[in-house]
Chain A
Amino acid sequence: MALFRFLPQLDPVGGLLTLQRELERVFETPLGVDLGPSGRGVFPAVNVFSNPDGYVIRMEVPGIAPEQIGIECSGRTLTVRGKREVAPPAGGSFHRRERGGGEFSRSLQLPADLDLSRAEASCKHGVLTVRVPKKEEAKPRQITVKAA
């Protein structure tokens, strides 16, 4: 898989288009890595990326405060739970209702070479990011060649 780099300061248009092309390509050939059964259509939607340090998992969780999201790790499984409240003021009626509410829970099975005990999560503007680093022994290593 090609690692692509964004240089938004140089070419914002190209960056956006490259990302979209890459995402579409992955759509066509899904599951580059076995993450368990696909949960497409389940809230929240998930994108998984990799970088040299490990995996970056992104979920779209609009309308959920960071403190309302619970993340659990057990073995190779990462579970994200929470509740989305959609509570309008009383005494009116809906014209359009496209946003759902309620409790959710989603689990992902991650490759064994990741170290879930060092995972870090942050949530900004309705996007949850979980960074899971690779285990030290799984990282690429340079071997110096000694003169015999």
Chain B
Amino acid sequence: MTTQELGVHDKQELKSQEATRPGRAYVPDVDIYETSEGLWLWADMPGVDEKSISIDLTDNVLTLEGQVSLKDYENLAPVYTEYNVGNYVRRFTLSSEIDGDRISARMTNGVLELSLPKSERAKPRRIPITTS
């Protein structure tokens, strides 16, 4: 399997719609991986803790929102900067194969890990062939 090279690209600002919260929102980098059991999603949201994240699934639209605390930036004057600090927002449309009740999420070191299990109906099944 080829691996994605480690690098940093400029944070993309979310401009397509008016947000309900003030401040700017950036699009987090996301990996989406599918196994026969379901989907896995990882989103890089550095600076977001488990209490400042909201995950919402409505009409198959999954919305991830992370709030960044600015408390640590008090009394600091920028000298050299490469990235902007702001909240994270990203939306995905899921297929109806996902079992919404069994979605689980975990936040570790600024990475959100979501497990989106497929509903029983959508799992691949092997159909046995009987010889007569």
Contacts and interface: CB of A to CB of B under 8 A. Distances in A.
Interface of A: 1-6, 8, 12-13, 15-17, 19-20, 22-27, 30-33, 35, 39-51, 55-56, 60-66, 84, 86, 88-89, 91-104, 123, 125-127, 129
B109 A125 contact: yes
13 contacts: A19-B70, A23-B78, A42-B7, A42-B8, A46-B83, A51-B77, A60-B44, A60-B110, A61-B46, A62-B109, A62-B111, A95-B32, A102-B3
Given A97-B4, A99-B30, A50 B79 contact: yes
Contact of A89 (B22, B35, B84): B35
Contacts of A44: 8
Given A26-B78, A45-B82, A125-B109, A94 B33 contact: yes
A95 B95 CA distance: 13
A60 B109 contact: no
Question: Which bracket fits the contact residues of B?
Answer: 35 or more
B13 to A, nearest CB: 10
Contact of B84 (A23, A30, A93, A94): A23
Contacts of B77: 1-4, 22, 49-51
Contacts of A127: 46-47, 72, 110
B75 A5 contact: yes
A6 B79 contact: no
Top 6 closest A-B pairs, CB basis?
A: A126-B110, A92-B35, A126-B46, A49-B76, A62-B110, A100-B6
Given A94-B31, A125-B48, 16 more contacts: A6-B74, A6-B75, A27-B81, A40-B82, A43-B6, A47-B78, A47-B82, A48-B79, A48-B80, A86-B4, A92-B34, A93-B33, A94-B34, A99-B42, A125-B110, A127-B110
B97 interface: no
A19 B39 CA distance: 36
Contacts of B81: 23, 26-27, 30, 47-48
Nearest to B13: A20
B70 A95 contact: no
A41 B85 contact: no
Given A13-B23, A98-B31, A101-B6, A45 B40 contact: no
A8 B69 CA distance: 9
Contacts of A47: 78, 80-83, 85
A32 B79 contact: yes
Nearest to A6: B74
Given A26-B79, A99-B44, A16 B22 contact: yes
A1 B85 CA distance: 19
